[in-house]
Amino acid sequence: MNKNPELSIIIPQHNTQKLLLDCLDSIYRQTKTLKFEVIVVDNASLDNSVGAVRARFPLVKVINNKKNLGYARANNQGVGEAKGKYLLFLNSDTIILDKAIEKSLFFLKANKKFQVLGCRLLNQDKTLQPSVGFLPHIPQVLAMMLFLDDLPGLKNMVNSYQKTNSSFYRKKRQVDWVTGAFLLTEKQVLEKAGGFDEDFFMYAEEVEWFLRVKKNNFKTCFYPKAKIIHLKGKSSENGFEKAVLGEYKGLVKLYQKHKKPWQLQVLKSLLKLGAFLRVGLFGILKDEQKRQTYEKAFKLV
């Protein structure tokens, strides 16, 4: 481990041994010019992830939790051990491509306007994976639930909760949030805005954090020249269902913490409407898994 790292890479993980080892291998292969440390926070894995990391990557610092503390708390633990001026929160199901970490850090250091950065995320087949957006105020949630941000023409004009149009990802832009799968920031941002809210076990915790980041006048950039593969959903069973239900729960909790009661009620109504429309859509498309997922989402709120 580097004694004076400029960058601390924090990887929370639970039962993803092979994915984690591939991720670590890609970090060391693609990051040659930086002084960095890697901190893996293991949430009580049962697949010998800790032993495998220690055997293959002895320089990696491992925090071995006795129970699954969730994504937010694990990241905060990593921050507590981090020595770098810059922090990279990285999912274990990612593969670093073409010096992405180096490119991202060099850009952030050279562009003082921004204090937080997200890179371009790709699926396993190298197609674009949407990964940035704007804070989920009522208009953003309305557009998402009614599919308005998917309509040709309109989707380019709307600052939607999650940007899905590929043209948006062609150049660097200021955004409100980037996914926690690859989140690079200055340590001072967490010192002023606070760490991740540990009431959020998983999903929406980074969006809640970005709400506080924006309130503290820090700016976030999407930087497309740095690219990674994100094997979305591979790190957990029933990935689609967990993501949908987690997002619903996370949005409700975010509104409970930061919005007025009437806004919370509007949110719940919109989430129900969106779930109802998707139950019908996926019923027509005969996608039983997704239809059942949104039936659960409808009942959830």
Q: Under a CB-based contact definition with an 8 Å cutoff, are residues 19 and 91 in contact?
A: no
Q: What is the C-alpha separation between 203 and 209, in angstroms, rounded?
A: 11
Q: What is the pLDDT of residue 201?
A: 67
Which has the closest alpha carbon to 42: 72, 64, 75? 64
Residue 230 Cα distances to 6, 46, 90, 124, 141, angstroms: 24, 23, 10, 7, 25
Does residue 235 carry a pLDDT above 70? no
Q: Kindly tell me if the per-residue pLDDT of 3 is higher than 80.
A: no
Tell me: the pLDDT tens digits for 24-34? 999 999 999 99
Is residue 239 over pLDDT 80? Answer: no
Q: What is the largest CA-CA distance in the chain?
A: 58
In contact, 20 and 92? CB cutoff 8 Å: yes
Whether CATH 3.40.50.10490 fits 7-135+151-230: no
How does the average pLDDT of the chain come out, rounded?
94
Residue 225 per-residue DSSP state: E
pLDDT at 152: 77
Residues 89 and 104 sit within 8 Å (Cβ to Cβ): no
pLDDT in tens, 59-116: 999 999 999 998 899 999 999 999 999 999 999 999 999 999 999 999 999 999 999 9
pTM here is 0.92
Q: Domain ranges in the chain?
A: 7-135+151-230, 239-300
What number is the average pLDDT over the span 277-283?
96
| Structure confidence by residue, pLDDT tens digits, 142-201 | 999 999 888 877 777 788 999 999 999 999 999 999 999 999 999 999 999 999 999 876
Structure tokens at 221: 């950039």
pLDDT at position 156, please? Answer: 75
Supply the pLDDT for residue 27: 98
- Look at residue 236 and tell me whether its pLDDT is greater than 60: no
pLDDT above 60: residue 233: yes
pLDDT at residue number 199:
87
The C-alpha angle with vertex 143 and arms to 140 and 149, in degrees rounded to 5, equals 105
Question: Which amino acid is present at 269?
Answer: S
pLDDT over 90 (residue 240): no
pLDDT, tens only, 244-269: 998 999 999 999 999 999 999 999 99
Separation CA 40–CA 92 (nearest Å): 9
Q: Are 266 and 244 in contact (CB under 8 A)?
A: no
Mean pLDDT in residue range 110-123: 97
State how far the Cα of 73 lies from the Cα of 83, in Å rounded to an integer.
18
The whole-angstrom separation of Cα 264 and Cα 21 is 41
Q: Is the pLDDT of residue 280 over 70?
A: yes
Write down the pLDDT at residue 1.
Answer: 58
Across 51-55, average pLDDT: 97
The b-or-e profile of 217-241 (16+ CB within 10 A means b, else e) is ebbbbbbeebbbbbbbeebeeeeeb
- At residue 67, the pLDDT reads 95
